[in-house]
Structure 1
Amino acid sequence: MPHISQAGAVRIEYSHFPVGELWEPGFEQGDDRPDFRTSEAVVAVPGRIIVRSRVQVHTAPVVLALSSRHDQAPGDGWELLASVAYRPVYAGRMAAFDTMNGLAQSAGEAVGVFGRQVAPGEPSIELDPSHTYDVRVWAQGRSDSRERFDAAAPGADTEGAPALEAYLIVFAPSGTQEPPVRATRESRRERLIRMHGKPPLNLR
């Protein structure tokens, strides 16, 4: 049985949102800027997976899961959008984020995946940073989400309206790697030696 997060809600802007690894002190931050010139629906960069929506601005339920199986479908109504490879670059704490506003909020209602109703809450899971992962991105509602969005009355109040899309991000271990190593904390003396080649007179 997969380990499943709670159901969050991401505020999507510019037709995309990230599922990312939380940076922690001691780890070097990499270049995680995606190339949006691609036509791929899902893009993996160091520390993040970017999911591209068919709708420019809306709020979508998102659930994260960790599974030992690569072939398990989450249930009726879910379509496999893409599969990408992911290597943890920090400590493996993954979460769903709004496009612009930080961590996702709790969803307004439960989401049905893998035969259960996932309660609203925090969409996050813990990966083992000594493993690599196959990531399968599943979606609901994408086949006509743009058409339903365009058909809505301009300026209509969408509060309480059914979600245009929903997403499930499933991580399955695919191999092993050397886990990312947190840098040891430098003393002031060590930092000055590294910067200037020798300690200042008062620290010799």
Structure 2
Amino acid sequence: MPHISHAGAVNIEYSHFPVGERWESGFERRDDRPDFQTSEAVIVVPGSIIVRSRVQGHTAPVVLALSGQHGQTPGAGWELLASVAYRPVYTGRMAAFDTTSGPARSADEPVRVFGQQADPGEPTIDLDPSHTYDVQVWAQGRSDSRERFDDAAPGADTEGASALEAYLIVFTPSGTQEPPPQAARESRRDRLTRAYGRPPLNLR
């Protein structure tokens, strides 16, 4: 049985939201800027999986899951959006995030996946950074979400439109890798030299 997170709710802006690892002190920061010129529904960058919604702005429930078995269907109404590969680049702690304003909040209602209720709460899951993962992104409501949004009354409150789409992100171990190394500790002298081109007088 897959291990599932709590059900969160992401505030989607600009038709996308990330699921990923936050940079942590001691690790080299990775470039995580996605290329939105692609037509892919799911984009992978170091440290993040970017999911593209069919709706410009709304709120969507999100659940994360860790499964030991490939190809499990999460239940009725879920459609497979994409399968991608992911390699942890920090400690492997995955979370769902709003597009621009930080971690997802708790969902208003439970979400049913794999025959279980994902209760409202923080949508996080811990991956093993010494493993690589196959990731399946499942969705509900995408087939007509844009049409339902367009049919809504002009000026309708999209914050309450969480039923437009819902997402489930399932991670399955696929192999092993060297755990991401922590960067060498930088001395104050080296840090200031890197920032200003030369060490300060009192450290020369």
Unaligned runs of 5+ in 1: none
Q: 1:185 to 1:145 in 2, by over 3 A?
A: same
Q: 1:3 to 1:75 in 2, by over 3 A?
A: same
Higher mean C-alpha displacement, 98-107 vs 178-187? 178-187
Q: Deviations over 1:161-190 (max 9, x none)?
A: 551000000000000000101123234466
Q: Secondary structure at the match of 1:100?
A: coil
Higher mean C-alpha displacement, 180-189 vs 150-159? 180-189
Q: Secondary structure at the match of 1:148?
A: helix
Q: TM-score, normalised by structure 1?
A: 0.92
Runs of 4+ more than 4 Å apart: 158-162, 189-196, 199-204
Look up the match of 1:137: 137
Q: Secondary structure at the match of 1:163?
A: helix
| Contact map agreement 2:59 2:159 (CA 8 A) in 1 | no
> Considering only aligned residues, what root-mean-square deviation do their CA atoms show, in Å?
2.3
Q: How does 1:5-154 map to 2 (within 5 A)?
A: 5-154=5-154
Q: 1:108 to 1:184 in 2, by over 3 A?
A: same
CA shift, 1:27, in A, is: 0.6
Q: Deviations over 1:82-138 (max 9, x none)?
A: 000000000101000000101000000000000011100000000000000000000
* AA at the equivalent of 1:20: G
Distance 1:194 1:21 in 2: 26
Distance 1:16 1:99 in 2: 7
Higher mean C-alpha displacement, 183-192 vs 4-13? 183-192
Distance 1:146 1:113 in 2: 24
Q: Secondary structure at the match of 2:136?
A: strand
Q: 1:160 to 1:70 in 2, by over 3 A?
A: same
| Contact map agreement 2:57 2:158 (CA 8 A) in 1 | no
CA shift, 1:201, in A, is: 9.2
| Contact map agreement 2:26 2:182 (CA 8 A) in 1 | yes
Q: 1:36 to 1:194 in 2, by over 3 A?
A: closer
Aligned-residue sequence identity (percent) comes to: 80
1:157 aligns with 2:161: no
| Contact map agreement 2:136 2:169 (CA 8 A) in 1 | yes
Q: Secondary structure at the match of 2:122?
A: coil
Look up the match of 1:177: 177
* AA at the equivalent of 1:142: R
* AA at the equivalent of 2:29: Q
Q: 1:151 to 1:130 in 2, by over 3 A?
A: same
Aligned residue pairs, count: 204
Distance 2:158 2:201 in 1: 66
Unaligned runs of 5+ in 2: none
Q: Secondary structure at the match of 1:168?
A: strand
* AA at the equivalent of 2:6: Q
Q: 1:153 to 1:69 in 2, by over 3 A?
A: same
| Contact map agreement 2:78 2:139 (CA 8 A) in 1 | yes
